[in-house]
Structure 1
């Protein structure tokens, strides 16, 4: 899902600084790429990157490498995951239609990203991010993510929309490697989507593509998604193997995606297009085509969080607030100091745990017998089946220290969300973003819904 390690650029002979107003061929994005997916570093930035690259070896794990602040996207990875909850959708009655909507949900989150080649902050152990979504029909959704392990890094997350009967549990286990002129992030982990109104479907299990930052030694930096991933529903027998295509050296294009949907051993549909803009679903039974997703015609739903002054110290936006402000003000010296302060505090906490023989215990998540990280709220008697009761139950679990548990202001990131677009022409129209203040009626979201059929 996400732009974890999206890049660096070096090459002393290839780092150029823009001078005056001119921009020659050397400053253009690679042919066929989206300029928003590329970056050019100035001389100082290039020197910093070269000093890092000089210490690397092919195949080296980059987990412990400290990256300069100018490659950072100003938010934590725990918040970055919410991009996949940003497009409301509906799940309809037939198994194939429900599978299509889950597939659509999965493919809709990749286009949301900052300009250039950037990576979110690496979350520190015990860090968490929580938010609420409000939808025009009066329903709500809730999201909580927590960094449950630092070595190896593991982010666990939970999303639920009681009224729409949708639950998503997942974990992300990124592993980054240096490949010479590229940096690769292997996106291990999976999403497990449960349509609570359709228990006969079981879980929809979704894996993720890998990410590549190309051109870190020569050429221009370009962000790509690549390799195979899958969307599977074991109970219904439906699966879609999705290929995120990377550009070849002499041919091909950027951001391509293709896949075949199967039910058992039978091919039933094809998926094709660009993950960065629009994708098409073609039925092999009827040859009918439909727009699976069109980013230009979709609406991004705002997420609501408490103001930073009301957040806990290890809540993502408050924890990284000095770093975020420094990046927004383009003060890289202050950004480096802020980043180091958080990381040094993390090291000191780890040292104290080692001295006292104590072990970090995650607050919101625990491992089940299968080794999967699941929210603790699913233990015991679980979540009430009544939507109103479920909303209250989930709110009190996510925000136990707040009395109202109703954050009323959009997050910083939400304030920068694209303006509402015209109604989409695809078969599943998306609602417009909810206004603020958000409605307080019980219910939940719309990354996907299983209330009909």
Structure 2
């Protein structure tokens, strides 16, 4: 964890989730028993979107940072590879691999629910990433990332909907992810798997569900399924990814996809049975380091690492009473601002995105600026 001062206010930058991280230093004692007590009076099927968790259950990082880090925290340039491929099929395969790389390990703790208007702005080399919390009820996050050198643009709109099912919590992540390779005139759309937190009988966390990736111009489609372990935590198929890449116009299967998102993923050509590794998690998401604050003066007051800095520091030091007090101050300030807006008859308007409801239902977000500027927070 990196702690740096910005006008005597703490900016806390933690390591991103990556392979091999077993650091339990932030966990409160008897965490599992505390989790069970938390859900004791919650009915199965309940939407947990409005549930306010005490700091004992928080990982010292905002959900906005988690979304952003899955894009800019990487040990290899998979995104650039998507742009460099000369063949449309090879580009599509690289986009599928990049999409899998945004699936990250996590822990049995919850990041902070971002406050309305909270932002996170970070860069890695030529890729600049900006996120904003554009709605609080329901919680909706928008992401805009651009690389002017490689002419790449990315927009995400994400709405997590966690529900309790008695022995587990499953969070469906609604919203569209879009990647544009502007040099090739191609737009790729994809969705996100669901996060499954199993509490009993064996505590476990995994990504599950269906993910579809499609290129609007070429008609190429990937249909992937993420699977977890069996109910008892047995079976050996945890973190499995399986599916196929096909041409939607002819329904011809071009490749079969199989592997594990935390290990390797391969494609197999059904015509000649040749197998090729397209993704190696160890090369992409292992040993990731915390971002660095390179320009303290340009950190915005709405920056996640600043908004939650004191709370993150308290959690790091296991000062639980102080953590509760700091979290209460942040949340009460937001309630006060909401009451003031309501008394004036004002609606809150996002600063960096235009937000609207799509024809298919749900939320969509369009960035106001064409390019994201370089950020004061930099990923090594």
TM bin, normalised by shorter chain, reads 0.7 to 0.9
Q: In structure 1, what is the Cα distance between the partners aligned to 2:33 and 2:268?
A: 48
Distance 2:152 2:21 in 1: 36
**Structure 1 position 182 matched with structure 2 position 173:** no
CA distance in 1, matches of 2:279, 2:238: 18
Which residues in structure 2 correspond to 1:200-239 (within 5 Å)? 201=186, 203-215=187-199, 218-239=200-221
1:244 is matched with 226
Residue equivalent to 1:337: 325
| Partner residue of 1:258 out of 231, 242, 247 | 242
**Alpha-carbon shift at residue 306 of structure 1 (Å):** 4.9
Relative to 1, partners in 2 of residues 1:167 and 1:302: Cα closer, same or farther, differing over 3 Å?
A: farther
Query: Structure 1 residue 35: deviation in Å?
Result: 9.1
More divergent stretch after superposition (187-196 vs 284-293):
284-293
Deviates more, 1:92-101 or 1:74-83: 74-83
Distance change in 2, residues 1:303/1:41 (3 Å): closer
Find the residue that maps to 1:184 and give its secondary structure: strand
Q: Is 2:92 the partner of 1:99?
A: yes
Q: Name the residue aligned to 1:84.
A: 71
Structure 1 stretches lacking a partner, 5+ long: 1-33, 135-139, 384-393, 396-404, 415-432, 434-453
Q: Alpha-carbon deviations, 1:126-167, whole Å to 9, x = none?
A: 000101211xxxxx1111000000111100000100111111
Q: 2:53 pairs with 56, 67, 86, which one? A: 67
- Which residue pairs with 1:451 in the alignment? none
- 1:13-51 Cα deviation digits (max 9, x unpaired): xxxxxxxxxxxxxxxxxxxxx995999987654564344
Normalised by the length of structure 2, the TM-score is 0.83
1:130 maps onto 2:121 in alignment: yes
Change (3 A) 1:219 1:366: same
Structure 2 runs not aligned, ≥5 long: 1-19
Contact 2:134–2:355 (CA<8 Å) still a contact in 1?
Answer: no
The Cα shift of 1:266 comes to 0.5
Q: Which residue number in structure 2 is paired with residue 109 of structure 1?
A: 102
Q: Displacement of 1:333 after TM fit? A: 2.1
Q: CA deviation at 1:326?
A: 1.2
The residue aligned with 1:426 is: none
Query: For the structure 1 residues 100 and 47, does the alpha-carbon distance in structure 2 shift closer, same or farther, using more than 3 Å as the test?
Result: closer
Select which of 148, 160, 177 maps to 1:191.
177
The 2-side partners of 1:301 and 1:271 are apart by 30
Following superposition of structure 1 onto structure 2, how do residues 345-356 of structure 1 map, counting pairs within 5 Å? Answer: 345-356=333-344
SS of 2:268's equivalent in the other structure is strand
User: Given the superposition, is the C-alpha separation of residues 127 and 406 from structure 1 closer, same or farther in structure 2, using an over 3 Å criterion?
Assistant: closer
Distance in 2 of aligned mates of 1:322 and 1:228: 38
SS at match of 1:372: strand
Greater Rg over alpha carbons, structure: 1
**Cα shift at 1:334:** 1.9
Residues 1:290 and 1:128: Cα distance change in structure 2 (over 3 Å): same
Map 1:19-418 → 2, pairs under 5 A: 36=22, 45=31, 48-82=34-68, 83-85=70-72, 86=74, 87-89=76-78, 90-91=81-82, 92-111=85-104, 113-114=105-106, 116-134=107-125, 140-199=126-185, 201=186, 203-215=187-199, 218-249=200-231, 252=235, 253-264=237-248, 265-298=251-284, 303=291, 305-306=293-294, 310-367=298-355, 370=358, 372-378=364-370, 394-395=372-373, 407=376, 410=378, 414=379
Matches of 1:62 and 1:368, distance apart in 2: 24
Cα deviation for residue 55 of structure 1 reads 2.4
**Does the residue aligned with 2:341 lie in a helix, a strand or coil?**
helix
**How big is each residue's C-alpha offset from its partner over 1:252-301, in whole Å with a ceiling of 9 and x where there is no partner?**
32111111111120001111111122211222233222211112223658
Structure 2 distance, partners of 1:330, 1:307, is 29
Contact 2:266 2:275 in 1 (8 A): yes
CA shift in 2, pair 1:305/1:270, >3 Å: farther
- Relative to structure 1, the CA distance from residue 208 to residue 406 in structure 2 (aligned partners, 3 Å threshold; closer, same or farther) is closer
Return the alpha-carbon distance in structure 2 between the equivalents of residues 310 and 40 of structure 1: 29
Which has the larger displacement, 173-182 or 302-311? 302-311
- Give the distance between the partners of 2:368 and 2:292, measured in 1 at CA: 23
State the 1:109 CA deviation: 2.2
Deviation at 1:309, TM superposition (A): 6.2
